[in-house]
Amino acid sequence: MPTLFPSSVVFVVLIACTIACVVAIVLVTVMRLARRVRGSRLQRLTERIRPAVLQAAVAEQDALDNSLTVFRSMRGRARRNAESIATRMLYDVTGETRTNLTYVLAACGTITRAVSRTTSTVPVRRARAAEILGLIDYPDAISHLIRLAQDESDEVRAVATRALGRSGRPEAIAGLLAALPSSSGVPAVVVGSALLEAAEHSAAAIGRGFTDSDPAVRRTTAILASHVMSPGATPRLIRALATDDEPLVRIAAARSIMRLQTRDAVPALYEAASSEHSGVRIAATTALATFPPAWTHEVLTDLKHHPDVDIRRAASATPIEG
């Protein structure tokens, strides 16, 4: 019976396939072995360097310089390992420990490289530089971060804005307020989170956003006002609830008033419960339902007979004590 290929050809093909399979198995084995060896070396390197980083992090100022000597002499993989350990620790520490870890990164040359990379043509490098500059206790970082918060790359702007908030420095507030308008291209939630991280310094400044012409700024300001305890927040929120022409701002104001729980806001909330916008009505009624019954008994009794079923449901969410 004739065959498609001669037996000699089939034999050669089988031999070639067998050899290819053996080579593939050998390569996979070698790669796994190499990965295991690298992992083992990295673990030993980390075990050697981590104690030095921890010692520097808790060192007294008079002993810190001696602790930093080892980092100044590091090169290659050892230096990168020290940078990685110190950077991860910076996410969870503050105060003197943060300052000491900043010195560790300075000794490794990390800060100098980060500053240099803020002008890189590669957006990922600029974003990584912004991340590092926001972690360290380094006053000169703020000017670089403010510049990066206006970068052409959306990712870089967002990372730089978060870094400004994480820096916790009062000089960063101007850059964060500049990022509030929707025209900045930075999502409002990113700016808001950054301002919350810098609440110690942003509380007094954030009140200016209530009068901004951009509704996105006013809305974010209304949301943040009750979280950062901005001075004069209550009357400003009441005014925004009563007079702002943007429903989303009024809704945000009602929800912030709900968190602040202030009796002075009851009349404004009751009036807002009759707004033409359903979202405002529901937000105002929901806020009233969370207030102490002694403040809201009469208004909630009235709202429980409102023509809007959603308002009646919101007004009935909390039982009224007579």
Give the pLDDT confidence score for residue 231 in this predicted structure. Answer: 65
**Helix intervals (H) in 60-206:** 61-72, 76-90, 95-108, 110-117, 123-135, 141-148, 154-167, 173-178, 188-197, 199-206
Tens digits of residue pLDDT in 198-223: 777 677 677 778 888 888 888 888 88
The DSSP H or E segment spanning 109 is none
pLDDT at residue number 123: 94
Q: Which contiguous run of DSSP H or E holds residue 287?
A: helix 278-290
Structure confidence at residue 322 (pLDDT): 41
User: pLDDT tens track of the chain, all 322 residues?
Assistant: 455 667 777 777 788 888 888 888 888 888 888 888 777 776 776 778 888 888 888 888 778 888 888 888 888 888 888 899 999 999 888 888 999 999 999 999 999 999 999 999 999 999 999 999 999 988 889 999 999 999 999 999 999 999 998 888 888 888 888 888 878 888 888 888 888 887 776 776 777 788 888 888 888 888 888 887 666 788 999 999 999 999 999 999 999 999 999 899 999 999 999 888 999 999 999 999 999 989 998 999 888 888 888 888 888 875 444 4
CA-CA distance, 110 to 90, in Å (whole number)? 13
Instruction: Give the pLDDT score at 145.
Output: 93
Radius of gyration of the chain (CA): 30
Per-residue model confidence (pLDDT) at position 74: 84
DSSP-derived secondary structure for 188-241: HHHHHHHHHHTHHHHHHHHGGGGG-S-HHHHHHHHHHHHHHT-TTHHHHHHHHH
What's the pTM value of the predicted model, to 2 decimals?
0.69
Q: Tell me the domains of the chain and their CATH numbers.
A: 221-321 (1.25.10.10)
